[in-house]
Amino acid sequence: MSIVTGNISYKDFSVVDVFCGVGGLTHGFVLEDFKVDAGIDFDESCKFAFEKNNNTKFVHQDITTLSSRKLRTYFDKSKRKILVGCAPCQPFSIYNNKKEKDKNKKGTDKKWQLLYSFAKLIAEVKPDIISMENVPRLVSFNKGKVFKDFISTLEKTGYHVSWQIVNAQDYGVPQRRRRLILLGSKLGEIQLVGKTIVDKKFKTVKDAIGHLPKVEDGIPHPSDPLHRARKLSELSKKRIQAMKEGGFWREWDKELWLKCHKKKSGKEFRSVYGRMKWKDVSPTITTYCIGLNNGRFGHPEQDRAITLREAALLQSFPEKYQFIDPDDTFKSQMIARQIGNAVPVNLGIAIAKSIKKHIAEVG
């Protein structure tokens, strides 16, 4: 039953994104015409891309030190509140800098401290609507205790809660990426919108990056410095040349094998040293997505790993999304981390559409 009185629309809401990174989730809300008033993240390197592409404020702060009073100041005071976020499962915070014995004080739940901090802020600030995106393992970690604690906090605070594990490929992301999406609302029942891709007509690697100009490994494209692939060693170049589209290291001559490949336990390692397929979605884009030896990140036909631009497109960032701060030194691994950690933009759009639909229903 809705507790809303009077008509409301999504325009009546102010959005704040906690753990915003370079803005994948925020950009989904921006593209759905929501007003995002701030993004908060401990990783200050994300500031340029977040602000440049989303025309809003980046706040550099560790959520474990963020008070509810301070968080309230980031919302537009004249509007209702929506709080969204993707709490990292491996906290990138001041907690990582403490001594090992201090890390263990709260036992196995310690790695999820940011999620508990997120729940505490929700309980204190009481936004009308919340969203949380995370890894599917959260549901079963420590017999589900952390996840149950999170939901319990929300329900005690008066939220209607729904959650499901989805594959981003079902929402127009050209990538296999399973994620947990949770939605909560004080206004009434809320659900994630249904799959936007029907009949398994997924957006493919070819659809996402097939139009980009060819580049050699180690040489950026002159008109797009983000379209650059890591320089390969001579041995790595021989290895990728020995693979066809969609292939992996088992296609190499044995003199190209690594020591681990020669062991019985290594014969099934299909997730490294592989090429993508044009007519399929990509594997999950990780923070190490530009390394040939870190996954199946080989280009389908060019003899190199994927470029940073290709990784961003496979995360469904628009092609014009800017990641490189002209006033800072270019750091490819830093940008790869930013891209790999991001919520895919099209998944952000699905979350924003769900909230917009919910507001229309209860308003």
The residue among 234, 235, 252 whose CA lies nearest residue 243 is 252
17 burial (CB, 10 Å; 0-12 / 13-18 / 19+) is buried
The residue among 49, 2, 1 whose CA lies nearest residue 24 is 49
Backbone angles phi, psi at 338, to 5 degrees: -60, -45
The neighbouring-strand residues paired with 185 are 129, 160
CA distance 305 to 308: 10
Helix axes 145-156, 113-125, angle to 10 degrees: 10
The neighbouring-strand residues paired with 217 are 229
Contact 311, 290 (CB under 8 A): yes
Q: Return the residue matching tokens 């009308």.
A: 128
Q: Which of 20, 86, 89, 289 is catalytic?
A: 89
Cα distances from 248 to residues 13, 172, 210, 252, in angstroms, run: 48, 26, 20, 8
CA distance 122 to 154: 8
Tally: H helices and E strands in the chain:
11, 7
Active site residue 89: yes
Backbone angles phi, psi at 58, to 5 degrees: -100, 130
| 144 Cβ neighbours under 8 A, 6+ residues apart | none
Active site residue ranges: 89
